[in-house]
Amino acid sequence: MQLIRLFIRRLLFPIIIFGYLTVGMTIAAQPYALVIHGGSGNIDPQSVSEERKEAYLGKMAEALKVGEEMLKNGAASLDVVETVVKIMEDSPLFNAGKGAVFNIDGKNELDASIMCGATHNAGSVAGLSTIKNPVSAARKVMEESPHVMLTGKSADAFAYEHGLEMVDPGYFFDQIRWDQYREYVRNTFNRDRGQSIPADDDLKMGTVGAVALDLEGNIAAATSTGGMTGKYPGRVGDSPLIGAGNYASNLSCGVSATGHGEFFIRNMVAYDIAARVLYKGQTLEEAANEVINGKLKEQNANGGIIAIDKDGNVVMVFNTTAMFRGYINSSGEKGAWIFREE
């Protein structure tokens, strides 16, 4: 009896306490974080009304709050980025889902992608016209097909067959976007279609994206867009292209981009940043700065990225005057911003 008591006091008890503390500290040490964007561009702060600024900041705060609750409660980063991007797709404020910009034929063609940093699985869709939430269609492609990317009518059909909500193409209509399209047609469209000129920044603002790191240490990234006002029908931008507008790897970081898609494709922006972190040992901040404020700026390419590395560092880097952006993390930091000087 004496021996058993001694064993419990001297050995078993300390082992249990030690184990409890070690596991507890390991759990506490795993940070979570979520960063979102709602597009970038060179916009004059005076051109956005206070009311509209409030609306943007409010919608981003709502998305961040939903994502924060999910992460706190142990949700997977994939579920978080999909949910958060859906909130922004459903808002007409952003150029994704409802409120997407119009192509030169006056139609909406939606692109989206999602990637899981734990498995490196990815899914994407381009040129959707009837699926309410393109990001969910991208996830269906990732999880329920052997493919990475589906396009056009087949992508719509696949998403519908896999249970996603279908809408009339008119659902995506937004009067402000339509007025921007009309202005584009009046001012900048060169009659030769092959020479269609990309719209000004403020006519295409609002691609959305999210990157999350969860309590399991898994990173995921998602991006969704209507592309660029006046784009040629069938044009695919960077947002649905894995490595260009979206990328996630637990080995390095997750990245979601916004900006002039053609440049982001040529420079493989999202993957370039991740590769610099992984192979060059650069910090996420250094890597993002060299690509966005170095390489892209030299090419006169506008845009920005949001990203999170495996340690929970959040970066929001852009070479424009504005990027709708915000983040939360497990240290309690949070905020949402529009312009650079804030």
> Where do contacts with ligand ASP occur on this chain (CB under 6 A)?
39, 204, 207, 225, 227-228, 237-239, 245, 258-259, 261
Shortest distance, position 328 Cβ to ligand ASP, whole Å: 22
| Nearer Cβ to ligand ASP (253/301) | 301
**Are 98 and 240 contacting, i.e. CB atoms less than 8 angstroms apart?**
no
**Are 272 and 283 contacting, i.e. CB atoms less than 8 angstroms apart?**
no
134-138, long-range: CB < 8 A, 24+ apart: 134/89, 134/96, 134/97, 134/110, 134/224, 135/81, 135/82, 135/85, 135/86, 135/89, 135/222, 135/224, 136/82, 136/86, 136/164, 137/112, 137/164, 138/112, 138/113, 138/114, 138/222, 138/224, 138/240
Shortest distance, position 277 Cβ to ligand ASP, whole Å: 22
| Nearer Cβ to ligand ASP (113/207) | 207
| Nearer Cβ to ligand ASP (249/258) | 258
Please tell me what DSSP assigns to residue 238: S
Cβ burial of 342 (10 Å; 0-12, 13-18, 19+) is exposed
Q: How far apart are CA 250 and CA 193, in angstroms?
A: 42
| Helices 77-89 and 50-72, axial angle in degrees (round to 10) | 160
Shortest distance, position 207 Cβ to ligand ASP, whole Å: 3
Catalytic residue numbers? 207
Shortest distance, position 87 Cβ to ligand ASP, whole Å: 18
| Nearer Cβ to ligand ASP (32/184) | 184
| Nearer Cβ to ligand ASP (99/237) | 237
Number of other CB atoms surrounding residue 26 within 10 Å? 9
| Nearer Cβ to ligand ASP (133/256) | 256
Shortest distance, position 14 Cβ to ligand ASP, whole Å: 56
Shortest distance, position 183 Cβ to ligand ASP, whole Å: 17
**What six digits make up the tokens of 276?**
């610099």
Q: Which residue of the chain is nearest ligand ASP when measured via CB?
A: 261
| Of the candidates 136, 232, 146, 133, the residue with the CA atom closest to the CA atom of residue 189 | 232
